[in-house]
Amino acid sequence: MALKLYNTMGRSMQDFKPIDESEVGLYGCGPTVYNYAHIGNLKTYVFEDLLRRTLEYLGYNVKHVMNITDVGHLTDDADDGEDKMEKSARETGRTVWEIAEFFTRAFFDDTKKLNILTPHVSCKATEHIQDMIDLIKTLEDRGFTYEAGGNIYFSIDKFPDYGKLALLDRQKLSAGARIEVDSNKKNPHDFVLWFTNSKFENHAMLWDSPWGKGYPGWHIECSAMSRRYLGDQFDIHCGGIDHVNIHHTNEIAQTEAATGKKWVNYWLHGEFLVMNKAKMAKSAGNFLTLAVLEEKGYNPLDYRYFCLGGHYRSQLQFSWESLDSAKTARNNLVEKVRNLLEKGKKADISNIGSAAGKYCEDFRNSINDDLNLPKALAVVWTLLKDKEISEDEKLTLILDFDRVLGLDLENTASAEEKADDVDQKVLDLIEERAEARKNRDFAKSDEIRDTLKEMGIEIKDTADGTKWKKM
């Protein structure tokens, strides 16, 4: 079975066929670095990571590009809200450049903890201003722009296909229902390519351009940078579902207007994380970062496992209860892999038996089915319970599957085995307790168990002696 992906363009499941078999071009919209990413943002990056890993698992050579939006964008209101980065800088007494640097680093710290593969190219908007200017000039030369009130606008009426991704032709474009329309716009859905007219003095990020000193509109950066690194046409563009209507719609208009060619073949969008019946957002008061989860004792990979439990195209309900269940499940999985590592030996995947091969096929069919990771996880659990499969084969298959799951099972399972960083005192106490148990002094034995628990060490008595692990 070939890889099938749900393409937002056309709203249908389609067989994936790359433009060039030797390299798949993948572009994902990256973060705007004015604040920490919340776990809802991170859900989308986990999804994109699963997409990339799936493609690589299936043998494709992927070129993954992601932008870093380090030019500020507007906080609210049509085109005249305050710039998010400037606001963050003003509030914290740092420069916008420091803000961008700080939160870019924080973002990559988070993705690393989630075992998200680093994009082959991470490109900053501020380092590609010239590419954007060039693209705007092309649009200008081709007659898609107009100047009004000091800003350069894209005229959507010049681009007949406008809105095909978002099915906008089926919608009545009723802009201005919630915000005041910028009176400079010929069509309410026109958007700014270049601003020279900022409402705010001391706007720190300004560049020279043929239209005057100013800064780029938001949508142009993705068009310009994806084009630089992936060319005029490439395979897959993904991002959050909220980008369908405006951002991706505008990107398509700009890029296709400039090149005169179809741009991207597959558009994939990740659904939102939902908490207390609302999408996660700072304004909704349900803003959780990965750091908060860590403070509460969760491993970032618990959150990754949690994301694996739902399909990327479905909203995922966050609750502490469901995160707990993901944590327990991941711990159980790691425990099983640890046992397999102790007893089994990793074999060559091509030499497994036919019964085991069936699981390989099931797993592959699951991810081929538009990245059905919940189903793929079910395959893993069913495999673990199957008594017909040897432990060597189980280990081999699961470590192979983990190339997609990205749970870092081999390292996690073996790392927790190491005793290097444990206090000698802990080992002494365990020894002392064993002695007490031998003498049937259970009061003392239980007391030591409590002491160890306070030290963060959990113990269990098995037939092979007492085992312990960090909680």
Partner RNA sequence: GGCGCCGUACCCAAGUGGUAAGGGAGUGGUCUGCAAAACCAUGAUGCACCGGUUCGAAUCCGGUCGGCGCCUCCA
58-117 binders of RNA (CB under 7 A): 69, 73-79, 81, 84
DSSP one-letter string for 122-141 = EEEGGG-HHHHHHHHHHHHH
For position 163 contacting RNA by CB under 7 A, the verdict is no
Q: Which of residues 437-456 bind RNA (CB under 7 A)?
A: 437, 442, 445-446, 449
- Are 15 and 4 contacting, i.e. CB atoms less than 8 angstroms apart? yes
Question: In sequence order, what E strands does 130-257 have?
Answer: 145-148, 151-154, 191-195, 215-216, 234-240
For position 153 contacting RNA by CB under 7 A, the verdict is no
Nearer to RNA, 82 or 392 (CB): 82
Which of residues 117, 121, 274, 455 is near RNA by CB under 7 A?
274
- 424-438 helix and 442-454 helix, angle to the nearest 10 degrees: 160
* Count of beta carbons in the 10 Å neighbourhood of residue 450: 9
For position 462 contacting RNA by CB under 7 A, the verdict is yes
For position 175 contacting RNA by CB under 7 A, the verdict is yes
Nearer to RNA, 418 or 460 (CB): 460
Cα dihedral: 168, 173, 179, 181 (round 10): 110
Which of residues 3, 5, 25, 41 is near RNA by CB under 7 A?
41
The CA-atom distances, in angstroms, between 239 and each of 34, 243, 360 are 18, 7, 29
Nearer to RNA, 69 or 209 (CB): 69
Q: Which of residues 185-244 bind RNA (CB under 7 A)?
A: 188-189, 218, 239-244
Which of residues 2, 22, 59, 178 is near RNA by CB under 7 A?
178
Sign of CA dihedral 303, 309, 312, 314: negative
- Tell me how far apart the 2 most distant CA atoms of the chain are, in Å: 91
For position 369 contacting RNA by CB under 7 A, the verdict is yes
Nearer to RNA, 18 or 104 (CB): 104
CB of 21 to RNA, least distance (A): 27
Counted residue by residue, the chain has a size of: 471
Q: Which of residues 294-323 bind RNA (CB under 7 A)?
A: 306, 309-311, 314-317, 319, 321-322
> Hunting for tokens 């030591």 — which residue is that?
448
Contacts with RNA: how many residues (CB under 7 A)? 93
CB of 191 to RNA, least distance (A): 7
